[in-house]
Amino acid sequence: MTRRKILISGGGIAGLTTALCLAKSGNRVNVFERAPTLEPLGAGIQISPNAFHVLRILGLNHELLSAGNVPEAIVMMNAVKGTKLATIPLGFHIQDKYDAPYIVIHRADLQNILFKACEENPDISISFGAEITDAAVHKNGVTALIQSSGKVEEKVGDLLIGADGVHSRVRNDILGLEPAIYSGKTAWRALVPAKHVKTQTPLNNTVVWLGPKAHAVTYPVRDAKFLNVIAVTQEAETSNTNEISKAELNKKFSHWDHEFTNLLNCDAEWSGWPLYETTSINTMATNTVALIGDAAHAMLPFAAQGAAQAIEDSHVLSQCLAKTGDTETALKQFEQIRLPRIKRIAKTARSNGQIYHLSGIAAAVRNIGLNKVSGKRLLQRQDWIYRWHP
């Protein structure tokens, strides 16, 4: 096994998971995160069985189950009429089927679990307030320029990994690839205290509300003390989406059933997140530079696989590097393994978004179809995603 020195740009979920996978394979890892501290950004995320397998290999399964929630089902709702369309079983059913749970967890809680595991690993160092701004590939690997506290220094490694998100500097500036583009959709997010939620819909489920040109997803986080709410609308991109008033939000969903709109008036702060996607997913590695997660394949969240695919990337990359002494060959193998699956999942997410946002007769036909198909058959459509195993 070749012991490499690896530089990672980005200390989010993708970067920290990759650091743990690579260190477990015997490498020395330096993570550079431009934020000054570990920032608890974002809201909830869903970890399906395929991703949970990787985190269990890293020894984090107990922490995840303690910090996360295990929904009993995904409930599909008609957002306008407030009627149930379908129930897809999760809970014990998915545990038995895939030998791993389907959990929902606050992004910051998952990031903290990963960060603590990295801190305890002597082969991982994390530098905050430090950003990789440029890099040069050479016969000895790669030399990266690190900007920190107004100073620039050089770091040499065997390879560089861009885990720096949707607006990846490694992708856009260092590799010169096409940037992710705005999808025309914005996700409005909030954490609603469960004690303020007045609803007939059980809080221990993931609930998907389907409406014309919009949809929403809710699920419990932090020991079900909060309800994570994500409402997606079709929007022209604006510069002032960071915050939105309840009056503006209510206007967007005024035609929806009160069972959902009641959530908009609970005591919570709402913020908007424009959704970006990589329309051309053809490159995940060049020479001794690799991309993972959103930096490689920013995808719409409508298959709930964004974080999961970053976690899969981390494991596959570490395994390819462990099996092959030549770094460039290992990265080519990594790309060849990951691209077909990533492309198919991104296509599925895009298609789901179109189906979720149907209106008129098309929506009525969709709803009739959901009513007629059993929840287990609907789950089977996701089988090719969930059955992936390290």
The tokens describing 198, both together, are 């007045």
What's the DSSP call for residue 319?
H
> Residue 2's pLDDT is what?
76
Which pTM does this prediction carry? 0.95
**Is the model's pLDDT at 209 over the cut of 70?**
yes
* Helices and strands in the chain: count of H runs, count of E runs: 14, 18
- Provide the β-strand partners of residue 245: none
Q: Is residue 154 part of a domain?
A: yes
pLDDT, tens digit, 9 for 90 and up, residues 115-160: 999 999 999 999 999 999 999 999 889 999 999 988 999 999 999 9
Query: Looking at residue 116, which CATH number applies to its domain?
Result: 3.50.50.60
Q: CA dist 35 to 90, 148, 270, Å?
A: 36, 10, 23
In a domain? residue 239:
no
Are the C-beta atoms of residues 284 and 18 closer than 8 Å to each other? no
Residue 301 resides in a domain: yes
Summary mean pLDDT of the chain = 93
pLDDT in tens, 23-55: 999 999 999 999 988 876 667 899 999 999 999
Helix spans in the chain (H): 13-24, 49-57, 61-67, 91-98, 107-119, 169, 246-252, 258-264, 294-297, 306-323, 327-356, 360-372, 375-380, 383-386
Indicate the number of domains in the chain.
1
Residue with the larger pLDDT of the pair 194 and 121: 121
pLDDT (0 to 100) of residue 196: 84
- What pLDDT does residue 40 have? 65
> Which DSSP symbol is given to 194?
G
Residue 9 domain flag:
yes
Confidence of residue 265 (pLDDT cuts 50, 70, 90): confident
131 near 119, Cβ under 8 Å?
Answer: no
- 200 inside domain: no
Q: What is the pLDDT of residue 44?
A: 87
Active site residues: 219
Q: What mean pLDDT is predicted for residues 231-252?
A: 80
The reply to whether 227 falls in a domain is no
Residue 201 confidence class, pLDDT cut points 50, 70, 90: low
The per-residue pLDDT for range 367-389, each reduced to its tens digit, is 999 999 999 999 999 999 999 99
Give the bridge partners for 233, in sequence order.
186, 214
Residue 155 domain flag:
yes
Per-residue CA distances from 111 to 43, 142, 208, 272 (Å): 11, 28, 25, 21
Lookup: tokens for 13 = 């979920």
Q: Which domain holds residue 132?
A: 5-41+107-181+278-353
| 32 within a domain of the structure (yes/no) | yes
Q: What is the mean pLDDT of residues 327-336?
A: 97
Note the pLDDT of residue 211.
96
**Burial tier of 96 (Cβ tally within 10 Å: 0-12, 13-18, 19+):** exposed
